[in-house]
Amino acid sequence: MSPRPGDVEARLQRFPKARPPLPPRLQEIYARQYAENRAGESTAASLSQRLEQWMHRQVAADVRDRAKPTLELGAGNLNQLPFEPEGAAYDIVEPFAELYRGSPRLPRVRDVFADIADVPAGRRYDRITSIAALEHICDLPLVLARSAQLLAPGGGFRAAIPSEGGFLWRLGWSLTTGLEFRLRHGLDYGLLMAHEHVNDAAEIEALVRAVFEDVQVRSFGLGRQLSLYRFIEASRPRAEVADAWLRRFGS
């Protein structure tokens, strides 16, 4: 069911968002902590990566039989590629080159874009995917609208996200990564999460439903609140909505 126009407009008015600033001590270790989490270098991060395999598998479920032309948003250190078959063009959007630079998986990537706006206007993809990235995007309506434009006829948008805003998600990171972070650094991991996760899961799902006609959602857990992750599968873009968002939020 599509969200009500008034509800969507109330959400749209929050964009583009600005990240809450980090205290100086957190700024000093931010880059290292971000890289450690992506690489699973700490005990808590390693546990998180094992749980996150659910997200990777959900996103890749549609290409078990054959690869399809794909654009991945927020590809990070290319940790989705082991779940994806070879044999079709695979492009990525990732603004932080240090995350994928030197990766042995990089030769599998055809084109790298720092921003989705850099993707050639005439290019089309059977799949646009994202794993644990949409919660980080300050201009999410613009990215979703551009994604809708870049899908080939019959293509699908497939995104896995943490259940940010839900009880179990907060409890989970508080007792693992958050506790480990406080013991190591004496700092509040919640401030880092607020800086990174500018969108919650309900907000992401509502915006996807507004720009796509057919949306299915699955949770890793018991419903929305008692889950760690969600998988959102969307198709049939609403061209008029995407065009309106591009005019409103585009430069």
Kindly report which listed range (29-38, 113-122, 178-187) carries the lowest average pLDDT score: 29-38
Q: What is the domain extent for residue 205?
A: 5-249
What letters, b where the CB count within 10 A reaches 16 and e where it falls short, cover 92-131?
A: bbbebeebbeebebeeebeeebeebeebeeeeebbbbbbb
Taking residues 139-154, what's their average pLDDT? 98
Our count of domains for the chain comes to 1
Alpha helices, H only, the chain: 5-12, 24-39, 43-60, 97-100, 140-150, 167-175, 177-185, 189-196, 201-211, 239-249
Give pLDDT, residue 224: 80
Name which residue leads in pLDDT, 41 or 127: 127
pTM (2 d.p.): 0.92
CA 123 → CA 105, 106, 195, distances in Å? Answer: 23, 21, 33
The alpha carbon of 156 is separated from its chain's Cα centroid by a whole number of angstroms, namely: 15
Name which residue leads in pLDDT, 222 or 86: 86
Q: How confident is the model at residue 90 (pLDDT cuts 50, 70, 90)?
A: very high
Give pLDDT, residue 126: 98
Contact 236, 214 (CB under 8 A): yes
CATH number (domain holding residue 201): 3.40.50.150
Give pLDDT, residue 31: 73
Kindly report which listed range (30-34, 88-92, 104-108, 199-203) carries the lowest average pLDDT score: 30-34
Torsion angle of the four alpha carbons 15, 55, 60, 34, in this order, in degrees rounded to the nearest 10? 70
Which tokens go with 226? 């008692």
Which tokens go with 153? 């006829």
The alpha carbon of 51 is separated from its chain's Cα centroid by a whole number of angstroms, namely: 16
Average pLDDT, the chain: 92
Give pLDDT, residue 135: 98
The alpha carbon of 99 is separated from its chain's Cα centroid by a whole number of angstroms, namely: 15
Give pLDDT, residue 235: 98
Contact 142, 250 (CB under 8 A): yes
The percentage of the chain sitting over the pLDDT mark of 90, rounded to a whole number, equals 79
Give pLDDT, residue 48: 76
Taking residues 246-250, what's their average pLDDT? 95
